[in-house]
Chains A and B, each alone.
Chain A
Amino acid sequence: MNETPASARTAPVEAGLIPEAATDAAPVVEFRDVSIAFGGPPVLQHVSFSVAQAETRILFGPTGVGKSVLLKLTNGLLRPDQGSILLFGEEISHMPEGKLFPLRARTGMVFQEGALFDSLTVRDNVAYQLIAEGVPDPEIDRRVRNALGFVGLEETFSLYPSSLSGGMKRRVAIARAFIRKPELLLYDSPTGGLDPVTSTTIIELVMKERDVYRTPSLLVTHRLQDAFTLCTNRFDSERNRMVPLPEGETDPNTTFLMLEGGRLIFDGSLHELMHSENPFVRDFLE
C-alpha cells in the first residue's frame, strides 16, 4: 500500500523539480501496535506506522477520531497503554519525563490554537527555548527576527498574543516551532478554523519548511484541500512562493495516513488514496 508508482517518483526528481524520496535511513518516528484509552472505549487501537527522514505524513480523519492524541503520543506528551513508540530511535513509551525533555527539545510542535504564552510577548514566545537555554539577548533578538521573517510577521516582535489575529497566532506558533531548526515537526490542525487565504499562507509555510529544510513532519488535518495543496505543489526559493508541480506529478515525500474509529485504515501515497477501495476513505474523499 505504501508503494508509489515508479514513474511518479523518478521523473520530477530527475528534472530537479522536487526533492528525492525519503531515504532508507532509520525512521524518525515509529509507532508499533499502539493503543490508548482514557477510562472509556479505546481512542487508538493497534496503530502502527513510521515517519522516515525528510518525509511529510499527513494524518486525516474526522473530528474526535484521535488525531491530536496520536500527535501527543509522538513526543511523549501522552503515554500509550500498549505498544511502543520510537522517537529518534529511542523507545519513549516508558521513558521518565525528565529524559523526555531533551528529545522534545529536538522536535517542534504547532498546537491547534497556537498555545502561545499569553503573558509573554511574541519575542519571548518565539525565543522560549533559547531563553531557557541561556542564549545571549542579542543572539536571541537576531534569531527571533529571522524566525518571524520566515513567517512574515517581523512587525509583531514586541506585541502580546492577545493583539494578534487567529492566523497570526498560528504563524507565531510556527515560528516558535521552527526557531531551533527541529529534527521533526508536529502540526496539529494548523489551518483549523482559519479563512482560505490564511490557510494557504500557513500551508505555504509548512511546504517551505518541507522543501527548504527537508524537515520530517507529521501533519494532522481534516481539510483535504490543504493535503492536496501540499502534495501537488513545491516551494520555489527563488520566487519565495509555492508553485504547482507539473500536471500529474506529486511530491514523493508527502504521504497519507487515515484514522477511523481509532484504527489506522490507510497508509500510502496520494495516488493510492485516490484509488482506495475502502468505503470510509471513498466517503471521506467525496
Chain B
Amino acid sequence: MPIDTIENTAKQLVLTVQDYSLFAARAFMNLWTEPRYWPEFLVQSDIVGVGSTSIVLLSGFFTGGVLALQSAATLSQFGATAVTGQFVSITMIRELGPVLTGIMVAGRNASSMASELGSMVVTEQIDAMRALGVDPMRKLVTPRIFACISMLFFLTIVADAFGLLGGAFVTVFLNHQDGTQYFSKAWESLRYPDIIQGLVKPLFSGYIIASIGCFYGMRTTGGTQGVGRSTIQAVVYSSVLIILVDFLVTRVLLALFPPL
C-alpha cells in the first residue's frame, strides 16, 4: 500500500533525525568529561587540517579567480571595474570561502570517516573496542568532531586568503588592472561583521561534517556494500546540511549585524 510506504518512510526519517540528534549531542558533551583522547584529536587534526590544505587552497584560489573574471565582465558595463577587489573579498569571506571549504572537506573527510568507521563496524572492531572497555564514542567520534571544527576554522581562513590571491591574479594578469587598487578596495570594504560571519559558519560546518560522517559510519549494516552506502549518505547529507545551515546562520547573523 502506497500510504504505508509513506508512513514508514516518514517514521524512518523521524527516527533517523532523533538518533542523529542524540548521537551528535552525546559526542559533543563527551568533551567536557573524562576520559579525553588528545592524541586521537591531534591525529585527526592532521588528517582533516593538513590533509585538506591542498584541495582547499586550490579551490579557494580558482574560485577567487572566477569571481574576478565574472565580476569584471559585469562591472565593466558600468565602468566600475575598480570595485572588483571589494566584490571578491566580500563574497569570498562572507559566503563562498566557508561554504566551499565545508563542501570540499565534506567530500574528502565525511566520506573517509564514514567508510573507516563503517569498516570497523562490519569487521566487529567497534564491538571489540566496547568489549575491551573503551567507549568508541569518546575514542573515535568526539576527537573527530572537535578536530573537524577547529581545522575547518583555519582551512576557511586559508581558502579566503587564496581566494583573494586568485582574484588578484586574474585582476592583474588577465584583466590588466591595478593590483594595489584591488587590495585596497578589498581591505577597505571589509567590516568586522563580515569576518565574524565568515568565521562562525565553519564552526557549524565542521560539526556537521564529522558528526554526519561518524553517524553514518557507526550505523553501517550490510557488509562492504553497506560501507559504500554509508559513505554516499555521509557526503550527500553533510553537503546538503552545510548549505541549509549556512542559509540559517546567514539569516541570523544578518539580523544581528544588519548591512550598512
Which residues of chain A have a CB within 8 Å of any CB of chain B? 72, 75, 77, 97-98, 101-102, 104-107, 109, 111-113, 115-118, 128-129, 132, 176, 186
* A129 x B127 contact (CB < 8 A): no
Min CB distance A33 to B, Å, is 24
| Interface: B180 (CB within 8 A) | no
Give the bracket for the number of chain B residues in contact with chain A.
10 to 19
* A104 x B132 contact (CB < 8 A): yes
* A111 x B132 contact (CB < 8 A): no
Those 7 A-B pairs whose CB atoms lie nearest each other, nearest first:
A105-B133, A115-B128, A115-B124, A109-B131, A104-B133, A101-B133, A111-B124
- For residue B39, which residue of chain A has the nearest CB? A131
| Interface: B76 (CB within 8 A) | no
User: Apart from A115-B123, A132-B132, what are 6 other A-B pairs with CB-CB below 8 Å?
Assistant: A101-B130, A105-B133, A106-B133, A111-B124, A116-B125, A118-B123
* A98 x B135 contact (CB < 8 A): yes
* A115 x B127 contact (CB < 8 A): yes
Number of A-B contacts (CB under 8 A): 56
* A75 x B123 contact (CB < 8 A): no
Interface string of B120-142 (1 = CB under 8 A from A): 10011101111111110001000
* B123 x A132 contact (CB < 8 A): no
Bound-complex Cα distance A113 to B124 (A): 8
Residues of B within 8 A of A106 (CB): 133
* B123 x A72 contact (CB < 8 A): no
Most buried by A among B120, B125, B129, B132: B132
Bound-complex Cα distance A112 to B129 (A): 14
When the two chains form the complex, which single residue of A102, A107, A118, A132 contacts B131, counting CB atoms closer than 8 Å?
A107
Residues of A within 8 A of B123 (CB): 113, 115, 118
Bound-complex Cα distance A192 to B139 (A): 30
Given A115-B123, A115-B124, also A77-B132 (CB < 8 A): no
* B128 x A111 contact (CB < 8 A): yes
Bound-complex Cα distance A106 to B127 (A): 15
When the two chains form the complex, which single residue of A77, A112, A129, A176 contacts B134, counting CB atoms closer than 8 Å?
A129
Interface string of B23-54 (1 = CB under 8 A from A): 00000000000010000000000000000000
When the two chains form the complex, which single residue of B125, B130, B135 contacts A77, counting CB atoms closer than 8 Å?
B130
* B135 x A72 contact (CB < 8 A): no
Min CB distance B32 to A, Å, is 14
* B127 x A105 contact (CB < 8 A): no
- For residue B133, which residue of chain A has the nearest CB? A105
Bound-complex Cα distance A203 to B139 (A): 33
When the two chains form the complex, which single residue of B124, B125, B131, B133 contacts A112, counting CB atoms closer than 8 Å?
B124
- For chain B residues 111-125, which have a beta carbon within 8 Å of chain A? 120, 123-125
Bound-complex Cα distance A109 to B123 (A): 15
* B135 x A101 contact (CB < 8 A): yes
